[in-house]
C-alpha cells in the first residue's frame, strides 16, 4: 500500500469575463483601427500584438482580446480574425476577492464600452453571470 500523501490541489484564480459588444446578436462592428486608437489613449493597456492587450505594470492583471464571433457569441476557428472590423472585445480579469481591483476592471470595461457606444455582458469562469 502506498503511504504517499496526495499533494494539495493547486489554488487557481477565478477568471471573470466581460464581453463588450454592440448588441446581443453581435451584428454591430467597429473598425479595428478605432479600437487600437482608443486603447492607445489609455494608460492601462499594453499591446501584445495578434489583437490582444494586457495590463501595463502597476495595474491589475487583465487581458483584452479583439475578436469576431458568430451570433451566439462564439469565436470559432473558422471565423476570420484578421479583417478590418471586430464585433467583440473579450475582457478577462482575475476576480480573487479584492473588491477594489475587481471594481477597477469592471469600471474599465464599462468605460471602453461607453466610448464605443456598446454594451457589456459579464460572466465568471464557469460561464455563469
The Cβ-side half-sphere exposure at 78, using a 13 Å CA radius, reads 1
The whole-number pLDDT of residue 64 equals 96
Query: Given this structure, which CATH class describes domain 15-124?
Result: alpha beta
* pLDDT for residue 84: 93
- With cut-offs at 50, 70 and 90, classify the pLDDT of residue 9: very low
pLDDT of residue 12: 64
Burial string for 7-30 (b: 16+ CB within 10 Å, else e) reads eeeeeeeebbbbbbbbeeebeeeb
Give the count of beta carbons closer than 10 Å to the beta carbon of residue 56: 12
Model pLDDT, residue 105: 92
Q: Which pLDDT belongs to residue 27?
A: 93
Residue 45: pLDDT over 70: yes
How is residue 127 written as a grid cell? 460561464
Amino acid at each position: 500500500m502506498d503511504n504517499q500523501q496526495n499533494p494539495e490541489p493547486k489554488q487557481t484564480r477565478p477568471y471573470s469575463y466581460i464581453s463588450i459588444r454592440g448588441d446581443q446578436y453581435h451584428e454591430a462592428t467597429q473598425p479595428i483601427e478605432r479600437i487600437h486608437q482608443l486603447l492607445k489613449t489609455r494608460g492601462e493597456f499594453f499591446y501584445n500584438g495578434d489583437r490582444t492587450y494586457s495590463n501595463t505594470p502597476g495595474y491589475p492583471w487583465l487581458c483584452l482580446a479583439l475578436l469576431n464571433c458568430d451570433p451566439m457569441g462564439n469565436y470559432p476557428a473558422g471565423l476570420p480574425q484578421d479583417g478590418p472590423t471586430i464585433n467583440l472585445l473579450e475582457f478577462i480579469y482575475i476576480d480573487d476577492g479584492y473588491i477594489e481591483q475587481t471594481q477597477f476592471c469592471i469600471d474599465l470595461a464599462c468605460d471602453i464600452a461607453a466610448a464605443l457606444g456598446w454594451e457589456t455582458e459579464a460572466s465568471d469562469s464557469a460561464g455563469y453571470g
